[in-house]
């Protein structure tokens, strides 16, 4: 009975030992991971994703390394610019492990090393720029940081793909000044736009007035032309009527004398100007009147009496200027 019990115990111990050996011998490496194997404390090989077998108690598998691209955000770092202003800068680094052996044996903690190297490089780069250049040259700063970090971390088995400045915070006093400057710039642009709008409005108004004046002048000119054409046609018709009627000199003289009083109807007429032709007309009328009296003395004739010109008592008055 004791012998059987001892055999069962030995068998159980062997089974446990075999299980432990198998557990330590068979390893499965996940995708995007890598493992470094040491044999008797010395680097032996790098395990790729998949199933692998180790020698128990001889080979030792170190913690697996992540081969995916990693993103590390570092806390804000105070940096002094060229114009002696302290700014707080947040950085984000994108890197990837490309050589698991170098990342294991060349550096103790590559994440901490990347952080310290980023801080040092950032201070060197931003220290040569003033505040305005630091705020407007992020792409340039990112490029310089990436070049320096990629060159320095290459021997650690790490590739830095991108470096981004997440935030650049100047001092509060500088922020207030920048805000006032931005507000003044916006007010200036608003004033310029308002002035430009007023200018365009005045230009359009002046153009409209000019067009209106041109149209009014064209209308007045056409009206004057039409009036002149009407008067010309009226004069032409009167002239044609007079010529068709074949008037005598006595009738023309009579009509001329009847027109003279109308010249004095205006309140501004203070002086009459009688042309020399009036004397000739009066002379003709006098001759007619003389012949009429002679004929009356000799005896009335029907034809002479009928042709006697009416209005013989018309007189020409000259109004002296007051």
d(CA 43, CA 26): 19
pLDDT in tens, 186-228: 888 888 998 999 999 999 999 999 998 999 998 888 888 888 8
CB 109, CB 61: distance < 8 Å: no
pLDDT in tens, 51-97: 888 888 888 889 999 999 999 988 888 888 888 888 888 889 999 99
Residue 174's contacts (CB-CB under 8 Å, 6 or more residues apart) are 85, 131
pTM to 2 decimal places: 0.51
- Residue 2: pLDDT band (50, 70, 90) is low
Range name among 45-54, 221-230, 281-290, 295-304 with the lowest pLDDT average? 295-304
Nearest to 77 by CA among 97, 93, 62, 66: 93
CB 61, CB 114: distance < 8 Å: no
Please give the pLDDT value at position 37: 92
Q: Indicate the average pLDDT of the chain.
A: 78
- Residue 267: pLDDT band (50, 70, 90) is low
pLDDT in tens, 93-146: 999 999 999 999 999 888 889 888 988 888 888 888 888 888 888 888 888 888
Residue 252's contacts (CB-CB under 8 Å, 6 or more residues apart) are 281
Q: Is 126 exposed, middle or buried (0-12, 13-18, 19+ CB in 10 A)?
A: buried
Please give the pLDDT value at position 14: 84
Please give the pLDDT value at position 281: 56
Q: Which helix (H) or strand (E) holds 222?
A: helix 172-245
CB 59, CB 84: distance < 8 Å: no
């Amino acid at each position: 009975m004791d012998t059987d019990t001892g055999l069962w115990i030995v068998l159980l111990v062997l089974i446990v030992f075999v299980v432990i050996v198998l557990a330590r011998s068979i390893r499965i490496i996940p995708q995007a991971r890598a493992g470094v194997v040491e044999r008797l404390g010395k680097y032996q090989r790098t395990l790729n994703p998949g199933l692998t077998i180790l020698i128990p108690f001889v080979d030792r598998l170190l913690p697996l390394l992540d081969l995916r691209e990693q993103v590390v955000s570092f806390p804000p770092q105070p940096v002094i610019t060229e114009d002696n202003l302290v700014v707080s800068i947040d950085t984000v680094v994108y890197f990837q492990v490309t050589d698991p052996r170098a990342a294991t044996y060349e550096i103790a903690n590559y994440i901490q090393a990347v952080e310290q190297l980023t801080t040092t490089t950032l201070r060197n780069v931003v220290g040569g720029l003033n505040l305005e250049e630091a705020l407007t040259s992020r792409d340039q700063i990112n490029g310089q940081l990436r070049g320096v970090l990629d060159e320095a971390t290459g021997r650690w088995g790490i590739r830095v793909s991108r470096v981004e400045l997440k935030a650049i915070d100047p001092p509060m006093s500088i922020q207030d000044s920048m805000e006032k400057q931005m507000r003044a710039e916006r007010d200036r642009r608003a004033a310029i736009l308002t002035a430009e709008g007023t200018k365009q409005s005045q230009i359009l108004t002046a153009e409209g007035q000019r067009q209106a004046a041109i149209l009014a002048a064209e209308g007045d000119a056409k009206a004057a032309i039409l009036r002149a054409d009407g008067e010309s046609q009226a004069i032409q018709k009167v002239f044609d009527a007079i010529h068709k009627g074949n008037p005598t000199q006595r009738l023309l003289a009579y009509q001329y004398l009847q027109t003279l009083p109308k010249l004095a109807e205006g309140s501004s007429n203070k002086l009459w100007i009688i042309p020399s032709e009036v004397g000739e007309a009066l002379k003709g009328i006098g001759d007619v009147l003389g012949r009429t009296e002679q004929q009356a003395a000799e005896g009335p004739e029907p034809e002479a009496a009928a042709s006697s010109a009416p209005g013989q008592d018309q007189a020409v008055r000259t109004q002296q200027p007051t």
